[in-house]
Amino acid sequence: MSTAVVTGAGGAIGWRIVEALFARGLDVIAVDCIYGKLENLPPGLANKLRFELTRLDDQDDVDCLFSSLPPDVTQWVLAAGSMDPRQPGQKLAKHVMNNMQGNLMPAVTMLDGISDYYSTGKGRDHQTNPLVVVISSVDAKYVLAGQHAPGPGYRVAKEALNALGEAMGGGWLGPLDPRLAILLPGSVLDPKNKRLNNDRWLVRGIFDDPDALRRLTDPLVGQRALTPMEFAEIVCTYLGSLALMEANHGRTIVLDRGLSLYPGLPPAGQRSIFAGKASGS
């Protein structure tokens, strides 16, 4: 039996990932930096080991978490945090990277929206080797289609895609780039407040291993939006895919819902774990 650690388990997507991993037979350790957030876990998950980080500025609290982990932890899912490095999720991400560097732990990070932190230009020095990118930005749809859209969001999305391509070894990451797997959530505008509705998802697949991964997504592509639970199932299927883990060579699996990449990543090819902000967290 292997164990998965889910940080941000009290979030809207986080607890569904906990549930999906548990349904696949893994032991799950649910972690959240915000006191009381784990109360969002369904009653059926209440008996799982839970850990609340209430003093992230106190290294003893973080050390306590790592010292309590069982030896069979095989993956770490970071579905929490903020693009602001002063926030708890980013602080924990740095602690995770410092403590777990060099260990093969496939991870998923979910970054929410195109961040002001990135658009200020402070995020241009990042380097990573993502296999999966999840994009919710309407602007990113235009970029991937090779079209133009007005406004700063389009420029940020295009810059982020180009930076992502450079980090992966150069070249434009267009919609047919075989190195990139894209899950494109449905960006549905609420007619009342003109804000993105991230409760439903639409999947589009472009994969390094089309035969293996298309079987997962084809029944859903273009048919309807995904529920958060279905999205969590896809996340966990990726994490549990031996073929993907072998192709990953220890690199972090990135699910980026807005192309707002964390700027402090180690050089490409190094194993790393980092965090973003999940919807509802």
Per-residue pLDDT tens digits of the chain, which is 281 residues long? 677 777 777 766 567 677 777 777 777 888 877 777 777 777 666 555 666 665 555 566 667 777 777 777 766 666 544 333 445 555 565 565 555 543 433 344 433 322 322 333 333 333 222 223 333 334 444 544 555 555 544 554 454 445 444 433 444 444 333 333 333 333 322 333 333 333 222 222 223 334 433 443 334 333 343 444 554 555 555 444 323 333 333 333 333 322 222 222 222 222 222 222 222 22
Q: Which domains does the chain have, with CATH numbers?
A: 3-256 (3.40.50)
Residues 97 and 105 sit within 8 Å (Cβ to Cβ): no
Q: Is the pTM of this model over 0.75?
A: no
Q: How many CB atoms lie within 10 A of CB 50?
A: 18
Helices (H), the chain: 14-23, 59-67, 88-100, 116-117, 138-144, 152-167, 210-217, 228-239, 242-248
For residue 72, what pLDDT is reported? 73
The Cα–Cα gap between 191 and 262 comes to 31
Closest-CA residue to 251 (of 183, 169, 186, 138) = 169
For residue 100, what pLDDT is reported? 52
Residues 94 and 272 sit within 8 Å (Cβ to Cβ): no
Angle at 28 between CA 24 and CA 31, to 5 degrees: 140
